[in-house]
Structure formats: structure tokens, C-alpha cells
Structure 1
Amino acid sequence: MQESENENSSSYLWLILLLFIAVLGFRTYTYFEQVPIETENAALYEKPEISAKKECSIQKNSRVKVLKHKYNWVYVKTDKNKYGWMGSWMISSDYKVPINSISEATIVIDAGHGGEDSGALSIQGKQEKTYTLKYAKQLAEKLRKEGARVYMTRSSNETVSLSKRPLLAEQVHADAFISFHFDSSPQNNTATGFTTYYYHKDNGSLRLANDINSQLTSLGIDNRGVDFGNFLVLRDNTRPAVLLESGYINSARDFSMITDSNYQNQVTSDVVKGLKLFFEGKDENTVISNNS
């Protein structure tokens, strides 16, 4: 009887081992994936970065073995035994690197206005461009601490054309685009609150807007919700993109919040929380678009 039990136990252990080997083999096969190159401008780069040194071009219809990925880049071995990094979009438009956390994401942050474009003015004549840059820099710092790759459309008081802002998101194949602005009403002190704008519904922008707005719940001014916004930086952007009007700059009450360090910290921290929801794929939206 004891011998039979030992044999059953041994068989059970062997079965577990075989299942483990099978699963490991499957994971290894899927991880070291061989894929055909379906684009004309594929190339190997020294680092996973568009500004990195280009090592060599890769011909269309050749095959590469994907060894690992970082952000939206993959490290590959070619069929000619060369190794290097290439943008996942260089393989084909259908090939996607899974982005399941903020630490794997590529994010573009847009500080509205700048340089010759002052943006809206406060009652005291303070310029919108000053505060959009302050918020953008603070968000960039927090996202980098989370491990995200961050690009900024501007990092100083410089003039950047509207068209170049979404173009940057396209060039780096950003997983999210966040634009900071501050609203202004025709008459001083006649409006208050913040609004989260999106343009495209079907590229993730609406979901991104809902995820971020759902976290903006304790700022001390009215949450005006998620709304459609026909802004060029959103309209010309195929990446998930939102524009945040984080208060009315010509409202004395809102402006006192906009310039407050606690409010700035709360806004940028809440945006990080919303981005985490977006990338982790959690369905925790509490705000619905006014135009859905």
C-alpha cells in the first residue's frame, strides 16, 4: 500500500515537472519571437532611442528574432546574426509591444504656449506660458521617477509651433500625450473650474481623458468633466492625447490655486494616477464625456 502511494506521488511530481517544462518552453518560444519585417525603413540602432546611432538598415521581408523590449523598442537578432534595437513600428503597423504599466510607457508632455506666445493673462497680467511650463516640468519629473520615458515639446521659454507638438508624439510613437493649459473667460471672474479635453474617441484618447479626469477629484475647484476639444494638438495626433485646462487664469480664485504649490503638486500627482489607470487597463472611470 505504501509502495503504491509512493509511485502515485512520484508520478504526480513528474506530471508537474512536465507541465512546468511545457509552460517554460511556450513562454520562451513566445518571448523569442521571430517576425518578418514589413516596412521599408527598418533599421538597427545602438540604443532604444530615435536619436541614437543607426547601425544598419534591415531589408523588407527579412526576419528578426525579438529577444526583449524596452518602452516601444525591441532588441532583436537578425537573420544575418546582427544584434540591435529597432522601433516596434519598424516591424509592421500591426506589431505592438505590450505596455502594461507606466514604467513601460513613452509619454510626451506639452507645455502650452511659450516664447512669443504668452497665452492667456491673469487679472494681474501674469502669463499662461509660465505656469504651463511649471506644471509640465513637475509632471515630467514624477513620471521619470516612475520609470516612464518622457519627452517635452518645450523645456524652456521658447516658441514651438502648434504643428510640431503632435508631430513629436508621432515621431516617438508616444503611448500618451498630455498638454497643459489654463482657461480664460471673456470677462474676469466669470468662470471657474478645470476641464479635460480629448478629440479622437477611437485611439484611446477618450479613455485616457476619463482615466485622468476620474482622479482629479480633490482640487478645491469645480471639475467640469471630460469634453470634446477641437484643438490642433489633439486633432492632428493619432496617439492617445488629452489637453488639460487646469483652472481659469483670469479668475482671482482659480489663479490663487494655480499658483499654489500644493495645488500644482495635487494636479500633477493626480495625472500620474490617471496614467497608471490607463496603462494598467483598469476600468475605474467615474467621469463620462459630455459628448459621448
Structure 2
Amino acid sequence: MSYLGETVVESDNINVRTGPSTSFKVTNTLKKGERISIIREKNNWSYVLLPDDKKGWVANWLLAKKNATVTKLSEATIVLDPGHGGNDSGALSIKKKQEKIYTLQMAIRVANLLKARGANVLLTRDSDSYVGLTPRAKLAESNNADAFISFHFDSSPNDNEATGLTSYYYKKSTDLALASALNVELNNTGLNNRGTEFGDFLVLRENTQPSVLLELGYINTKYDFKLIQNDNFQEKTAESIVKGLDNYFKNK
């Protein structure tokens, strides 16, 4: 049998699973200082040979981290999707600001918090660039993501006509639990929580992974937009989303 290489485990209690994602059963744990051989890699996971000659899958990003705190959240691959970008501005605010600016700001805040918790985070875009809807969903599929979150800000036909945030799901079997876990933590952002709703959005409909689309306020409503552009609101909302993800993975 050929090996890609050997590595020394840098953290305690890294889970060994029967397959390359958190949906597979845990069969063993690795301890700091153990030497393992990497047989092959898939979706940022390594299939490894353990010191007792058993085999299993471990998360690459945890193997590379020293003294990581290993939790279900830190084992997860999460794709964050800042809506719009490039020549797609999204909705216009009450002050004619473009939605795409704030979706990226929010996604980056969430990404930074998740990375600090040890999660493997991928963004569909990290700059003001255009990305098609199908590639956004495909990024989650190709990386076997444990969760996909698309960030948006709502708009009503007339200014100052609506307010609040909504968590959308498409498939009850895979998406609703994620949408509910996130939505329940969004009650204290300062915006009315409109709850979870079915949403026929392409990034959800064509996504094979657990997926939600968050509309985090009405950008063309004066009250909502005042919060949307506020650093404290963005940070509080990002923290609420991470808390919702933490609870979601704990309960899986």
C-alpha cells in the first residue's frame, strides 16, 4: 500500500470517522503526538492508517492545527454565500446603497468567527466579483459541506413598507432543521423575526447539502437599513448565526 505521507497529530481528541464528513460514525479518536499515515484525501478529509493498524477519516484542517479544541462545529465544512456581487448589485437601499456590499460584510464576519472556532470555511466570493447561482450551490456539493448559508437583504416594492428578517429553506428533510436552528438565535438582533419560510431559490433548490438563505432585514426600509450598516448589528447577528450553527451541530 502506498501512502501520501506521514504526520504527527498536533491536537487531542480528533475524531476518526467511517467517511469524509461529520455525517459518518465516529470509530476512534486521535491523541496529540500520535503518528499516522495518510492514504488518500477527499473533500479536505484524509483517509489514514492509525498506530493500531485501523483506518478511518479525519478532518485535514484539524490535523494541521496545534492544540485545537475539537467540537462538532470545528469538524464542519461550512460554505458561506454573500449574495450578488460584481455587476449584480442586488437591491438598493433607502439611500441607494447596493445590497452586495452588506452581504459580503456579513459573510466575512461570520467566516472570521467560525474560523476562530476551528471550522473549515469556504466563501463563494470574498471580493466584489460576480459568481453564478449554480456554481454557488456546486461549491457546497463538491466539498460535501455540512451547511450552506446564503446572505441577503430583503426589499419591498415601496420604501418603508416592510421590516424584519426571515430564514428560508427549500427541503424540509435537510434544510428546515438548519433554518430553525439559525432562526431561533436571531430573535435579539433588534429586528422583527419573521420566522422560517419555504423559499424556492436556486441556491437552495439545486443544493444537495443542508442549505438556508437568510434575508437579514429590508434594505429599503429606513429603520432596517440603519441597523444593516451598523457594526454592532452586524457583529451581533454574526454571533447569533454562529451560535445557531453550534446548536445545530450539537443536536445532529
Same topology, TM > 0.5: yes
Q: Deviations over 1:5-40 (max 9, x none)?
A: xxxxxxxxxxxxxxxxxxxxxxxxx439xxxxxxxx
Where does 1:201-220 land on structure 2 (aligned, <5 Å)?
201-203=172-174, 205-220=175-190
Partner Cα distance (2:150, 2:60) in 1: 21
Where does 1:16-27 land on structure 2 (aligned, <5 Å)?
none
Output the amino acid matched with 2:28.
Y
Alignment match, 2:136: 165
Does residue 235 of the first structure (1) align with residue 232 of the second (2)? no
Distance 1:71 1:186, change over 3 A: farther
Partner Cα distance (2:82, 2:56) in 1: 36
Alignment match, 2:215: 245
Relative contact order, CA 8 A, sep 6+: which one is greater?
2
Match of 1:238, SS state, is coil
State the Cα distance separating 1:250 from its structure 2 match: 0.1
Partner Cα distance (2:93, 2:233) in 1: 17
Does residue 226 of the first structure (1) align with residue 166 of the second (2)? no
Partner Cα distance (2:60, 2:212) in 1: 20
Alignment match, 2:14: none
Q: Deviations over 1:166-203 (max 9, x none)?
A: 00000000000011000000000000000000001112
Alignment match, 1:49: 44
**Counterpart contact for 2:92–2:98, Cα < 8 Å:** yes
State the Cα distance separating 1:66 from its structure 2 match: 1.9
State the Cα distance separating 1:49 from its structure 2 match: 2.9
State the Cα distance separating 1:65 from its structure 2 match: 4.7
Alignment match, 2:120: 149
Alignment match, 1:31: 28
Match of 2:162, SS state, is coil
Q: Deviations over 1:139-168 (max 9, x none)?
A: 000000000000000000000000100000
Alignment match, 2:58: 69
Partner Cα distance (1:164, 1:48) in 2: 17
**Counterpart contact for 1:71–1:149, Cα < 8 Å:** no
Does residue 190 of the first structure (1) align with residue 187 of the second (2)? no
Which of the numbers 201, 226, 230 marks the counterpart of 1:256? 226
Does residue 140 of the first structure (1) align with residue 137 of the second (2)? no
Partner Cα distance (1:243, 1:130) in 2: 17
Match of 2:133, SS state, is coil
Output the amino acid matched with 1:230.
D
Alignment match, 2:4: none
State the Cα distance separating 1:67 from its structure 2 match: 4.2
Partner Cα distance (2:62, 2:173) in 1: 24
With normalisation by structure 2, the TM-score equals 0.76
Match of 1:191, SS state, is coil
**Counterpart contact for 1:143–1:272, Cα < 8 Å:** yes
**Counterpart contact for 2:167–2:213, Cα < 8 Å:** yes
Alignment match, 1:276: 246
Partner Cα distance (1:220, 1:44) in 2: 48
Partner Cα distance (2:122, 2:146) in 1: 11
Alignment match, 1:174: 145
Q: Give unmatched runs, 5+ long, in structure 2.
A: 1-26, 30-38, 47-52, 64-69
Match of 2:246, SS state, is helix
User: Which has the greater radius of gyration?
Assistant: 1
Partner Cα distance (1:71, 1:142) in 2: 19
Greater helix fraction, Structure 1 or Structure 2: 1
Match of 2:55, SS state, is strand
Q: Calculate the aligned-residue CA RMSD, in Å.
A: 2.4
Q: Give unmatched runs, 5+ long, in structure 1.
A: 1-29, 33-42, 53-63, 75-98, 283-292
**Counterpart contact for 2:91–2:155, Cα < 8 Å:** yes
Distance 1:220 1:170, change over 3 A: same
